[in-house]
Structure 1
Amino acid sequence: MLKIDKETCTGCGICVDECPYDALRLKDNVAVVDMDKCTLCGVCVDVCPVDAIEIEAASSHGKMNLDEYEGVWVLAEQRENKLLDVSAELVSEARKLADKLDEDVSAVLVGEDVKDEAEELIAYGADHVYVIEDEELKDYRTESYAHVISELIEHYKPEIVLLGATHNGRDLGPRLSTRLQTGLTADCTQLDIDDEEGILLQTRPAFGGNLMATIICSNHRPQMSTVRPGVMEKAEPDYDRVGDVTEVQADLGEETESEVKRKIVEISSHLHDADIFTKIKDIVKEASASVNLEDADIIVSGGRGVGSPEGFAVIEELAEVLGGEVGASRAVVDEGWIDQEHQVGQTGKNVQPRLYIACGISGAIQHRAGMETSDYIIAINTDEEADIFNICDYGIVGDLHEIVPLLTEGFSQE
């Protein structure tokens, strides 16, 4: 809300004149605000010559003191008691953000019999790991996970919370942001800290991927982001790192000396059938996908320039010789030339191979968002003005149907 100090205000009227929403007026020679019109744009704060106006952050529980929030948190995700790669990626990125803020990195690990994975999180950069174990938490369910994690966040008040943009993360993130009365920026491709304000800069594709938008959450905490797997670079683990592990007791009714554990016991006492609206009857595993783009060291991708479904034969041959995987742009997937599991880009998979060979791909921003962090990019295209040449390390102007077979032949002889 907008607060005006009546003792400081001189009634000069500058804020009234400058307000773009006609939300301010003078009454008894003091500025007053109509909060139905005010958008908290901050113009009046900037122009007030006596600093009599300020914007107060508030939540549904009253005024939010942003100074109470500190630290960067990662909600680590696991399957069958093994960390997902995205958890290590996020902890690695959180370490960079926390170093800029001179704060700690904490990870939250939820499940059953998962505490052995805490050392892995510490190796990637976590200073603290909060482990919440209970049989009710063995498999992900919205109500139970949102309940215990939101209570933990409310208790510790982290400044930043990062989640993977996985199926579970995309379900959990909005639930947490609603409970915590804060914002959430989805599918970020870049995170940074503003040097002056110290707030999180959250960058993501916008308007169908035609531009990149940087979003901030100025007045609420925590600042929350989901990040797609494969976007952030995973650091080299240091297994000599030392960190703290707090085992948060989620099994019910036990009194403990720890204030944190008492808090969680209080949380857990509500984890009963009345609060959890779903039950897991069985987990059916599908056959593993034949394409593993996220872990591939080499990817050979084709776009419209391949010309037809049959045109992918030369792409597949080169990928086979190099021991890599076959990728594709969205355009050829939409045409039905190749299966969707091969798609790289904003609406496909994010990849970070050592070598990415883009064949007949123009380089639209949607595709670049999924592969531009590759170590080396080779582009082959007949159009020398194609956008892909702006980000590649090596570019070849020419017909891929002539060039790719030559590469295949050359590598076959090695």
Structure 2
Amino acid sequence: MVRENIQEYSVSEISDSIKGTLENSFGYVKVRGEVSGLSKPASGHIYLNLKDDKAVIKAIIWRSAVARISFIPEDGLEVICSGKLTTGYSDRYPGRSDYSIIVDSITPAGEGALMALLEQRKKKLAAEGLFEEQYKKSLPKYPETIGIVTSPTGAVIKDILHRLNERFPCNVILWPVPVQGQDAAQLISDAVDGFNNLSSKDEVDLPDLIIIARGGGSIEDLWPFNEEIVIRSVFKSNIPIVSAIGHETDTTLIDFVSDLRAPTPTAAAEISTPDKEELLRDISEKNNRLNYSINLYLDNLKDNFISIKDKLPVSLKLFLNNLTSHFQNISQSLNFRVIGEQLKSSKVKLISLEESLLKAKNILVERLQKELDNKSTLLESLSYKSVLKRGYSVTRNSNKIIKSKKDLKDESELIIETNFATLKAKLREINDK
């Protein structure tokens, strides 16, 4: 039976009436639900569904509101949305008759919701192998340039720069980024990629190491460092990365993928650099040991010369006395402590220092050995045995070289030394010249 007294509406009229009734009845509301079907088109708006186990409501975050919120939702996360209910998409698209919530603010439904999402994401990335130790890179022992990704203001950058200057002054390149908020994750990812894309054509050096840091905060504040875009940029980085996010008790996903995690930003500076005072002490100790070894070698070489000298004729003794004095002067002039002091004023790496000093020692030893060989050759050339090789002989009476007639007696037993043999003879007759 058709009721003749029912008011007739056009489609737009009934839609407008429903819209007015809905908005006037509920006004501003808060709705808790799980995010699904999230979409971020190029327009800058965000579209999503809020659902529970019995119903689904459409939700829209206009671009102007996106710029104000500090938290960007994700599928599977339970959130609380604040806004107004309307039909269609408010005055922008009034022709639609379904209803939705126009979101002004959105927050996670407690830390439990975020922790659940965090654990879910952690398992996903771990299954892909992003956290495995085999992909970790070793930190350089002596970094010349360190890149820092953090906020350009605040205590974090000041603490890092102060500690670096104390321990191991080096070049520092700051890539400034926001460390929380909706754009933070993308800009942090861009910074890591940007450092890796530097080349010799750029005005700044490619860092040997990157520190990503921020101070403490809530789980929402630290959330950019749990975003996949950041995790994947850190994983593919060719430059070793130290993460220092929040306090020691804070843990974010970047800590699992970075090559080393520091409990605080200050600790990151300490982990990334050696202690210059400790290096200088080590260099000094090695200097002293090397100086002692070289001087000991020279002393032994001098003793060997003295031993040889005592067995030589007077002329050669005089020569070797002069040579010994020369060696003493060389030994006294080798003051490696002075070299060590010079090294303290520069950033010479410990390994390079050891190699350089070892090379200097080898050159010195080679030169002294060559001088010794030359003098040994001279000694051999002055020996009477060289004369014997030319056909001469040496005659002795009772092991005494015969130099004149008075050294001879009748029937004397004589020993004649030649180049090829030693002969025994008896004197029979002496004929004067």
Shorter-chain TM-score: which interval?
Answer: under 0.3
Structure whose CA Rg is larger: 2
The one of the two structures with greater contact order (alpha-carbon pairs below 8 A, sep at least 6) is: 1
Between structures 1 and 2, the one with greater helix share: 2
TM-score when normalising by structure 2: 0.25
Query: How does the TM-score come out when normalised to structure 1?
Result: 0.26
